[in-house]
Amino acid sequence: MDGMDQKPELEPRPVRDSISEISEMALPNDANPLGNLIGGKVMHLVDICAAIAAARHSRRPVVTASVDYMTFLHPVHIGELVTLKASVNRVFHTSMEVGVKVIVENLRQRSVRHTSSAYLTFVAIDRDGHPTPVPPVTPETETEKRRFEEAGRRREYRLKSRARG
């Protein structure tokens, strides 16, 4: 029997155990005609970083259920270092909201700026592809507690929006 057949332990886990960080250079192959990183590439990186955080927390394969919110505050210029940081904000039985922040660094100028933020929902799945329960997340810091509460409000809004059709 492999690990996928066993029931995952559903003891609460701290947010810090889900933290994921990835970095990548913005390369010319991913540029738009203005010389900036295309938004789809940023979205791709956001999805990967968030999926890692969700999988770290659930210790299960995860699938993206929705992208609730995504901002593009500033362009990412080719040659800049893109760093994404993600963590689980809240768990809702089989789903998890993950927040992602995108930071861009111009290595020559030594400048750093926040360029994007996103909230994604992931569902943990079992070996048959069915949703499976996820351990609760325990926010410890004031920021984590605020994100936990905000995630609950976003979920209520999503559910009301879905019910309206």
pLDDT score at 9: 65
Answer yes or no: is pLDDT of 11 > 60: yes
Whether the CA torsion 41, 47, 50, 55 is positive or negative: it is negative
How far is Cα of residue 105 from the mean position of the Cα atoms in its chain? Answer: 20
pLDDT score at 2: 46
pLDDT (average), residues 144-157: 95
CATH architecture assigned to 13-164: Roll (3.10)
pLDDT > 70 in the chain, percent: 95
This prediction's pTM = 0.90
Answer yes or no: is pLDDT of 117 > 50: yes
Give the start-end residues of each E strand in 5-138. 13-14, 20-25, 62-72, 81-92, 95-106, 111-124, 137-138
More confident residue, 165 or 111: 111
pLDDT > 90 in the chain, percent: 86
pLDDT digits (tens, 9 = 90+) for 60-100: 999 999 998 788 999 999 999 999 999 999 999 999 999 99
pLDDT score at 1: 40
Residue 7: band (very low, low, confident or very high) from pLDDT cuts 50, 70, 90: low
Q: Where are the domains of the chain?
A: 13-164
Alpha-carbon gap, residue 84 to 53, rounded angstroms: 11
